[in-house]
Structure 1
Amino acid sequence: MTPPDPPLDGEAAHFRALEALYAAAPINRLFDSRLEIPHAGVARIHFTIDDRHFHAAGAAHGTAYFKMLDDAAFYAANSLVTDRFLLTTAFNLLLTRPLGLGPVVAEGRWVSGRRRVFIADAHLIDATGEEASRGTGTFMKSRIALATLPGYGGA
């Protein structure tokens, strides 16, 4: 019989709790997606574009681009903050190619800031390995304690 894995603590526990928070968010019922935080300052969202996300011309609507870029940048930044939920205060988006059906990865990376305001960027990579979009966000610490949010650490 294999013994159970030891409980996580510190940084790894925070990353897993953020991943659980993402999974618990009601908006994510609309997307086939999964968050992974491999290390501090980096977040990846694996998702699949299907025809529910299409605009009238048969490619992904900009809402899918924004949602995944914002989330990837947000979680990259919030991976550095263990007590408070961050809020997006601004986000700039550049759409470079249409997304069709299939898997996409949104990768976010922290750029700067460690006190109250954080800057992170993100890009979308389609199934062919091409960049489809990129964006940069500004995020600010809120008064909302992470530990009080449903999904974070079993709250």
Structure 2
Amino acid sequence: MHSPEKTPVDTSTLFAQVGFNQLLDLRREFAEDGVSRLVLNARPELTNNFHNLHGGVIMTMLDGAMSSAALSRSGFRKAVVTIEMSTAFLKPGRGRLVAHGKAIGGGRSVCFCEARLEDETGELVARAMGTFKYVSA
């Protein structure tokens, strides 16, 4: 029996549709061939008691960079959900921050990724590793 052909799915716009990314003003500069870059300008309402970028915002940036890398690795034909994520915080985040994501392995159902977050001087603020499951959009 012949199964109906699926219409190709385009998940390239999913990032912009996430309300939390809009609230943070988190921007994806690019995502292609398993590599991504996100940027955010820290502002007072995103900081902790020490006036540094809140750890949850840092983790959101790293997660977004890795998931964007995973999406681009699939050619934006699948969606992803985070299965696990490990984060190391190395120094306070301030100013303009850039998250770099990279898909480093996996197969048809999961993607292994890594990310690093740098401040405007290029110093490493945090890094992460994560596993992402491909799902239907």
Q: TM-score, normalised by structure 2?
A: 0.86
The runs of 4+ residues in structure 1 deviating greater than 6 Å are none
Query: 2: distance between equivalents of 1:42 and 1:36?
Result: 11
Partner residue in 1 for 2:120: 127
1:24 aligns with 2:17: yes
Query: 2: distance between equivalents of 1:75 and 1:39?
Result: 8
Q: Offset of 1:104 from its aligned partner? A: 0.7
What is the alpha-carbon root mean square deviation over aligned residues? Answer: 1.4
Partner residue in 2 for 1:108: 101
Query: 2: distance between equivalents of 1:83 and 1:105?
Result: 26
Partner residue in 2 for 1:99: 93
Deviates more, 1:85-94 or 1:57-66: 57-66
Query: 2: distance between equivalents of 1:45 and 1:69?
Result: 9
* Alpha-carbon contact 1:37-1:76 (below 8 Å) kept: no
Aligned counterpart for 1:140 among listed residues 115, 133, 136 = 133
Partner residue in 2 for 1:72: 65
Partner residue in 2 for 1:118: 111
Map residues 21-60 of structure 1 onto 2, 5 A cutoff. Answer: 21-60=14-53
Higher-helix-fraction structure: 1
Query: 2: distance between equivalents of 1:38 and 1:71?
Result: 11
Q: TM-score, normalised by structure 1?
A: 0.77
Of all paired residues, the percent bearing the same amino acid is: 31
